[in-house]
Amino acid sequence: MCGYGQLKTRGVKKMSAVNLDKLLDDFSHIEKKISELHAENNLLTLQLEKANKMLTITQSQEKSAKEECAILQNMVKRLQQAIENQHNVRDENERLKNTACMLEEKVKSCKQEYESQLDRLVKELESKEEEHKFEQKNTRCEMNKRLETKEEEHKQLIEKKDLEISELTRQLRVQEKEKQNEIIKLQIEFDAKLTQLQKRTPKSRPDPSALPQNIYRRKLQHFQEEKNKEIEALRNTIRDLEQRLSKDQDVRPRKWKI
């Protein structure tokens, strides 16, 4: 209304001859049109915003639809591939079934052949076991005979060794007795010769019997040592024979049991 008053005042000053009523009507009409245009412009702005929102929603729906369409296309491809694989699997199953039937027939044939061979081998094994038992029995009998022979030989050898030990023991006793007799004899001879030398030798002179006495003593000692060596050798021989005899008795073979 302020603008309208200013315009009216100016129009009165500049154009006093113009028709004011008509001018006011025209201005009112223009102002009305401007208001209508503003209203329409606001309406169009609202519609544009609504259209933009709808466009955004539509674009989002279109994008979702495209993604869903792509997913569906992939699903269709997978289903087609699965159907194709299923057909291939069916063909493969048929081929495998035929192969399985052939293998079953072959297995049956092999099983029959195996059972036949097994029966034959079992019979051969039983026959071999009987032969082995017979041979084992004969072998044991022969071994027992050999062992009995060896045992008899061993007994004879032990008896022979016992006789040798007895003989060596007897010889040892004889030699010890002979040694004692020989020592006694030598002692008597030594005493007799010593007595004779003492009778022949004057008492005023130095006793020369010390030298012959020492000689006899050395001879007697040497004789004793020789006899002792012989006796020790016989004792060692007897000890060795006894140890061998003991070892032979420990390792005596035993008979085989049938």
Position 211 scores a pLDDT of: 52
Mean pLDDT, range 188-212, rounded to an integer: 62
Residue type, 8: K
Average pLDDT for the chain: 78
The residue among 248 and 169 whose pLDDT is bigger is: 169
User: So what's the pLDDT on residue 4?
Assistant: 47
**Confidence class of residue 212 from pLDDT cuts 50, 70 and 90?**
low
Mean pLDDT of 1-29: 62
Residue 248 CA from chain centroid, whole number: 46
Task: State how far the Cα of 219 lies from the Cα of 217, in Å rounded to an integer.
Answer: 5
Residue range 126-130: mean pLDDT, rounded: 87
The reported pLDDT for the residue numbered 71 is 92
Of 219, 217, 223, 213, nearest to 178 by C-alpha is 223
> Rounded mean pLDDT of 195-215?
58
49-67 in b/e form (b: 16+ CB < 10 A) is: eeeeeeeeeeeeeeeeeee
| Segment 123-132 mean pLDDT | 87
Residue scoring higher pLDDT (93 or 14): 93
Share of the chain above pLDDT 90, in %: 4
Which band of pLDDT confidence, cut at 50, 70 and 90, is reported for residue 158? confident
User: Residue ranges of the domains in the chain?
Assistant: 157-250
* C-beta of residue 137 within 8 angstroms of C-beta of residue 249: no
Global model pTM greater than 0.75: no
Above 50 in pLDDT, residue 222? yes
